[in-house]
């Protein structure tokens, strides 16, 4: 919640009541009902201000500050409006006592709801400029669309501080579009670049050129500027314990196509080929691990991890006796801790990213990554992969042959 200065609050009062500002001289009469209606309207944020609404208790309609005493009881009465069951879903609000021009007021700060429409006693209250009242059917449709938009998966959410300049548009045109659509479709396409970006979910909309999480991850110039955990930490450890000597360390960054290419080059470099010229007339070359199994595990980690509210990267730790791949996020959707890895059971935390990775050739078919890993390891004589799954992380361990 913002902590407004006295100067800012006085400026708000000077502008008068609006669809973000409400004055009440006190809590007497029908003021409590009117405040609840205002809280409901501010939470609905029909004008899409994406700013908090403010209720000043102790300010008259003529913008002068009345000299009320703000007691603990009054503050509790205001705070209880959040949880008394009359406003649903419960709004996010704070109630504080402030002093303005030496006089006390109570300030209620209401955040826009993530789940509109919000109702007070069953009615949807809204405000647009001077208009206040019950939502029309058109208003309700807009509020429902706002909720549906916010209900999009995280990888389809816009990142408000981004723009087209944060996306590699050349890569989008030359690599992504050509992978996603046939030459015939592209030749017949008369959409603008913004429309193409919106259609592939790289930006929020053609008339709202703000990059989505998917856009930043897939064609972003510097994804980690906006999603700090969107990288891979690679360690090659000369031993079997975390405390043993680290002989190679790299933070692998960039948009996911480049990140995966760098990671797979790193895996190949450490997957040294053993040459046996003693047991056969021809030399036998054997990789330390089946490379396809390593690709599947690491690509799955990047695809299925959570990118929301975390700075944690994917960890790839290569020990002498095993490889551990750990990703933030853990079990998701229909895939539980108990059912993780079962054939045919799949869910997507990042469904749009999964589609993009398939488009770019990093995924051939959905839901077969773990079966491929198990098959590759079994054919090469390796132990079954081990899975350590929680609600917060997923770790896959591939053990060396004979370990």
Q: Give the pLDDT score at 367.
A: 75
Q: Is the pLDDT of residue 130 over 70?
A: no
93 and 181 part of one domain:
no
Write out the E strands in 191-295: 203-205, 208-211, 232-238, 245-252, 273-276, 284-287
What is the pTM (predicted TM-score) of this model? Answer: 0.66
88 and 199 part of one domain:
no
186-208 pLDDT, tens digit per residue, is: 888 788 999 999 989 999 988 89
Residue 1 in domain: no
Q: Give the pLDDT score at 285.
A: 56
Candidates 1, 6, 2; CA nearest to 98 is 6
368 and 277 part of one domain:
yes
CATH code (residue 316): 3.30.565.60
133 and 51 part of one domain:
yes
394 and 313 part of one domain:
yes
Q: Give the pLDDT score at 272.
A: 80
Q: Between 311 and 188, whose confidence is greater?
A: 311
Domain boundary among 119, 150, 181: 150
List of residues 6+ apart from 361 with CB closer than 8 A: 179
Half-sphere exposure of 344 (CA within 13 A, CB side): 0
Q: Which domain holds residue 259?
A: 232-399
Q: Give the pLDDT score at 62.
A: 95
Residue 264 pLDDT grade (very low, low, confident, very high; cuts 50, 70, 90):
very high
CATH code (residue 27): 3.30.950.30
45 and 123 part of one domain:
yes
186 and 64 part of one domain:
no
Instruction: Indicate the range of 64-73, 285-294, 381-390 predicted with least confidence.
Output: 285-294
Domain count, the chain: 3
Q: Is the pLDDT of residue 112 over 80?
A: yes
43 and 94 part of one domain:
yes
304 and 209 part of one domain:
no
Residue 20 in domain: yes
Q: Give the pLDDT score at 283.
A: 53
Q: CA distances (Å), 381 to each of 293, 307, 325, 371, 400, in order?
A: 13, 35, 20, 15, 10
**Summary mean pLDDT of the chain:** 90
The owner of tokens 């990554």 is 369
Candidates 236, 167, 241; CA nearest to 202 is 167
Question: Across residues 33-44, what is the average pLDDT?
Answer: 96
**Separation between Cα atoms, residue 55 and residue 242, nearest integer Å:** 55
Percent of the chain scored above 70 by pLDDT?
94
170 and 206 part of one domain:
yes
Percent of the chain scored above 90 by pLDDT?
67
207 and 290 part of one domain:
no
134 and 163 part of one domain:
no
Residue 189 in domain: yes
Residue 54 in domain: yes
Domain boundary among 133, 150, 167: 150
**Separation between Cα atoms, residue 266 and residue 206, nearest integer Å:** 38
């Amino acid at each position: 919640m913002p902590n407004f200065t006295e100067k800012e609050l006085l400026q708000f009062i000077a502008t008068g009541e609006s669809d973000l500002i409400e004055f009440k001289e006190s809590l007497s009469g029908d003021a409590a009902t009117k405040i609840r209606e205002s809280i409901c309207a501010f939470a609905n944020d029909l004008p899409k201000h994406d700013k908090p609404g403010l209720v000043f208790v102790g300010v008259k309609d003529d913008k002068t500050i009345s000299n009320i005493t703000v007691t603990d009881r009054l503050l509790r009465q205001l705070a209880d409006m959040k949880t008394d069951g009359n406003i649903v879903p419960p709004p996010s609000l704070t109630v504080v006592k402030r002093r303005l021009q030496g006089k006390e007021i109570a300030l209620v700060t209401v955040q826009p709801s993530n789940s509109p429409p919000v109702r007070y006693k069953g009615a949807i209250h809204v405000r647009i400029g001077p208009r206040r009242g019950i939502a029309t059917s058109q208003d309700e449709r807009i509020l429902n669309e706002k909720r549906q938009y916010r209900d999009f998966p995280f990888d389809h959410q816009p990142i408000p501080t981004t723009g087209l300049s944060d996306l590699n548009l050349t890569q989008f045109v030359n690599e992504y579009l050509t992978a996603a659509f046939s030459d015939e479709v592209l030749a017949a396409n008369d959409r603008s670049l913004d429309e193409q970006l919106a259609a592939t979910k790289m930006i929020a909309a053609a008339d709202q050129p703000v990059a989505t999480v998917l856009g930043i991850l897939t064609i972003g110039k510097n994804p980690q500027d906006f999603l700090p955990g969107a990288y891979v930490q690679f360690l090659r450890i000369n031993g079997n314990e975390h405390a043993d000597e680290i002989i190679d360390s790299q933070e692998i960054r960039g948009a996911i196509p480049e990140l995966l290419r760098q990671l797979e080059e790193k895996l190949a470099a450490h997957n040294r080929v053993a040459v046996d010229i003693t047991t056969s007339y021809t030399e036998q070359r054997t990789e330390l691990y089946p490379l396809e199994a390593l690709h599947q595990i690491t690509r799955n980690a990047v695809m299925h991890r959570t990118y929301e509210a975390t700075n944690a990267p994917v960890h790839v730790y290569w020990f002498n006796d095993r490889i551990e791949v750990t990703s933030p996020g853990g079990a998701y959707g229909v895939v539980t801790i108990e059912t993780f890895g079962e054939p045919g059971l799949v869910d997507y935390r990042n469904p749009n990213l999964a589609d993009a990775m398939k488009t770019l050739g990093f995924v051939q078919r959905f839901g077969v990554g773990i079966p491929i890993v198990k098959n590759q390891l079994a054919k090469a004589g390796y132990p079954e992969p081990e899975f350590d799954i929680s609600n917060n992380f997923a770790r896959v361990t591939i053990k060396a042959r004979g370990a």
